[in-house]
Structure 1
């Protein structure tokens, strides 16, 4: 299996002068192999209490009842404190306060793909498996999205309402889909199903997704383009991307202004993907010709707007999906409780030894984050991971998973990428990963090095060491030796080795009331380039960061905020 990923971090930062030797590939084991054997032993109880907090279909209930060692009930028959497994829908919040009331809970099953309302970190800390049922509703959601597309472009709702009050002669003229261009933002399962349906209607299809490479759409009748080109060319824009800090308000005043006059917007994914006031203004001035949504907020200013049709979470409401979701989650819960399989688990159930692993994985994840934020604007060609020291060698697999999560989560979202599914997401994107153990001499008793190579032949190498077995420290960024703790707010600044840099940057920070907590500068040679790691107490605004970058002595500057 060749792993290759189309990750497109912000901007190109470093050259390709550093390298380490590639070595053997790693393979992603199943979730079951990540669990200690004694975990299954702990699940061998006389009867499992399964608490149902959401209704299941008749077929789903039959699947659950087929097991002889389970007791099924609602809160009136099974108290939360006695539950071994909880099956819940999106309407239930499973937070820290609820988990405190469930000391026996071993498993949370979400009947659906969304994990909204589940405290994954708290569940993981408590050793509770969380699983969902992704992909079951892709066809149903695509069908409903296309139904809304047809309804808004052909004024179906308006015509129905007019006919209902006796106005049978409707003067509204709709748009024919054949020959039009559909722009799909986010090309996952639903996006692919949308593309198939649009092609059948004779539409041209454009798609944008930073984690999809050309090779992954080979054979599909569509074109992968950048966000700007999609917005400029599409007659209809349909949103299917995951909500992350990067995609929050992905359609705003600036991006909507790039679209064609009369563009139609479809959103059945998440209300926060669109800046509502900006959309309302565009609807009112006629630039946006129509909007259809299944995720409108109560009290929204778009309710009853003449150019808007809206429903609320109807996209996956079909007999078939509810049946399939019920059966799937029932089978998954039973298999997990019996230690047979842990498919669609979305968190790694750390058992004994997590306290030892945690600092190593924390360092790996932060190295992955640094690789992402300092990375090149090109698809990733390869990730090379090297470790020195017996402790790291024994833990190289979970460390690798942590690096992948740190690299992928900034783009896809922290609730989307976690320790159990990071290898799966990487494999889906064909990431190529190599791994080496202890082949170099190091001044550190333990050393983790990660080198990411991009298709443009650029690469970045970042190394970290664990001090006192608990404190992650970054000791190398590309060719530059350094020593800093990846926490809080840091500014990674490349500059030229000339007098006055520290003074001018310090003055700039002071004038803008930004306190510098620490500063580490290194250089490869006198009079060449330098790299500074600056810890600050308050984040720089975008305006201040751009002002700093505009100085003639600054080669690049990236601000990173570690949670």
Structure 2
């Protein structure tokens, strides 16, 4: 019988589910790291919340551990690389807190609209300042969603029920999905200029960090009110304070901060500012939901081998894994490539396999493509939830299997539909194990997709490669490998360079200004 330790306080239903499924369970909470290390060796599973820190040191003592289940979405307290190296599956429950977090965002929006915290404080102080607290109605106002995924869609539904107009900015929101949600899809700049209220529901990635920067805050409508229950770091906190002080932003409510616990912040004490201590998931219902989900997921894995919401393991059988591993690595890199190049505009995705790849289970290959594609914009995507996230955002995903023989013994092609038409990238395996790009947007280019890379599209002309190398050299950037392809002599050429270090922004601008350059993008694999 498998044995699980619940090391953080969790709803009693979790332990009951384990027992009902035939899993022995101990509930021992509040242990120090040394105490946990002394007992963890006897357990097959570890169920945690946010208190227990699953470090490399703990994992080294967990000689029988097979799975760590986090009741909640954040896994900052788990050393995932160390868990992977030890063969320990790490699971979370990414959707258990959705309704609770969405409702908290709506609650903060109302608090801003009517200045409730200050009105409460004033009234309890016996002041009765009725004329001081002149609020605004939410009815008829425009709500701007930055991020229209699971939580954002729930907020939209509630806001529409309040007779608000909802506009949304989301790179993966299709027009069809927007219609289903009852929202209008817009650009970020249009959202900033139109929204009376802005709520953020996007993960923190390189592309979303400080998405509400000083520059973007200046683009907002005067008197806008801003709510963030998603991730600290999406808003430049110093810039937000300045916007509040100037009166351009009428109010802001944050449940999350760049540094947590937020014992101090430049925003504290600023008129119009409301804060809560990361309460997005703090309801009785949410705690029950995530406890039930983590127990069910872990029991499935320990009793049947089923894998759900794993962050470091695909849903594969033991027989399929060795054969599919290199194909999945290739597929994930192709997805990451097309996502970084065309992510904002993608409407549909097609994954085609031919040759040896057509003889395998295509689902893990598709999952790997979507993991790479969605990973450009999500910090919680994995092999299991990537297809769900793609479907939720309205992406039409097709799988195509070809029996034909092509130029390569095996080939994986990822095609995406954008407003400019269909674009595709393709790759193969060298020596049946090494992923290799062989085509990008119709141009034959052979390249390893690894580390930091630079993608350049230019007019094929004598001397260009030398000028490009000079600009990188002047910036102190060393070129590792150089890959070149072109449509025709003198036509459009594509360069893929692997770099020892990322090119600094001034160098990127210098390259953009080189004669004949059409596109320059930094890539990361």
Q: Which TM-score applies when normalising by structure 2?
A: 0.89
Q: Which aligned pairs between 1:256-405 and structure 2 lie closer than 5 A?
A: 256-296=217-257, 297-339=262-304, 341-348=306-313, 351=318, 354=321, 357-375=324-342, 378-389=345-356, 393-394=359-360, 396-405=362-371
1:57 matched to 2:11? The reply is yes
Which secondary structure state, in structure 2, belongs to the residue aligned with residue 317 of structure 1? coil
Taking the aligned partners of 2:218 and 2:307, their CA distance within structure 1 comes to 46
Q: Secondary structure at the match of 1:538?
A: coil
Q: CA deviation at 1:282?
A: 0.9
Deviations 1:69-126 (A, max 9, x none): 5132315799111111111012333243332221211222211233333334443444
**1:480-499 alignment runs, 5 A limit:** 480-499=443-462
Are 2:390 and 1:423 equivalent residues in the alignment?
no
The residue number in structure 1 matching 2:470 is 507
Query: Is 2:514 the counterpart of 1:554?
Result: no
CA distance in 1, matches of 2:395, 2:472: 43
| Aligned counterparts, 1:210-249, within 5 A | 210-249=171-210
Q: Give the aligned partner of residue 71 of structure 2.
A: 111
Residues 525, 197 of structure 1: alpha-carbon distance in 2 compared, 3 angstrom cutoff:
closer
Q: Structure 1 residues 387, 96: CA separation in 2 closer, same or farther (over 3 Å shift)?
A: farther
1:143 aligned onto 2:99 = no
CA distance in structure 1 between the partners assigned to 2:328 and 2:498 by the alignment: 22
Q: Any idea what the Cα deviations from partners look like across 1:171-216, whole Å, max 9, x if unmatched?
A: 2311122222111111123222222322233322222222222222
User: Residues of 2 paired with 1:470 and 1:64: CA distance?
Assistant: 40
Point out where structure 1 has 5 or more consecutive residues left out of the alignment: 1-46
Residue of structure 2 in register with 1:407 after alignment: 373
Which of 474, 480, 485 is 1:522 aligned to? 485
Distance 1:138-1:402 versus aligned 2 partners, 3 A rule: closer
Q: Distance in 1 between matches of 2:86 and 2:369?
A: 23
Cα separation, partners in 2 of 1:525 and 1:330, compared to 1, 3 Å: closer
Conserved? CA contact 1:360–1:392, under 8 Å? no
Residue from 134, 143, 146 that aligns with 1:173 = 134
CA distance in 2, matches of 1:150, 1:68: 46
For residues 156-185 of structure 1, what are the alpha-carbon distances to aligned partners after superposition, in whole Å with 9 as ceiling and x for unaligned?
111221222221224231112222211111
Residues 203, 377 of structure 2: 8 Å contact kept: no
Q: Distance in 1 between matches of 2:305 and 2:483?
A: 51
CA contact (8 A) 1:380 1:452 kept: no
* Count of residues in Structure 1 that have an aligned counterpart in Structure 2: 511
> Match of 2:49?
89
Rate the CA distance shift 1:143–1:474 in 2: closer, same or farther, 3 A. Answer: closer
- CA distances 1:11-33 after superposition (whole Å, capped 9, x unpaired): xxxxxxxxxxxxxxxxxxxxxxx
SS at match of 1:100: helix
Counterpart CA distance in 2 for 1:317 and 1:269 is 14
Are 1:113 and 1:135, in contact at CA under 8 Å, matched by a contact in 2? Answer: yes
- Distance of 1:398 and 1:371 partners within structure 2: 18
List runs of 5+ in structure 2 lacking aligned partners. Answer: none
Give distance in 1, aligned partners of 2:430 and 2:39.
Answer: 45
- Taking the aligned partners of 1:221 and 1:426, their CA distance within structure 2 comes to 19
| Structure 1 pair 486–174 and aligned structure 2 pair: CA distance change class (3 A) | same
Find the residue that maps to 1:148 and give its secondary structure: helix
For the aligned residue pairs, the C-alpha RMSD in angstroms reads: 2.6
Secondary structure at the residue paired with 1:481?
A: strand
Shift of 1:401: 2.4
Which segment drifts farther, 184-193 or 474-483? 474-483
Q: 1:526 to 1:299 in 2, by over 3 A?
A: same
The 1:71–1:533 alpha-carbon spacing in structure 2 relative to 1, beyond 3 Å, is closer
Distance of 1:221 and 1:357 partners within structure 2: 40
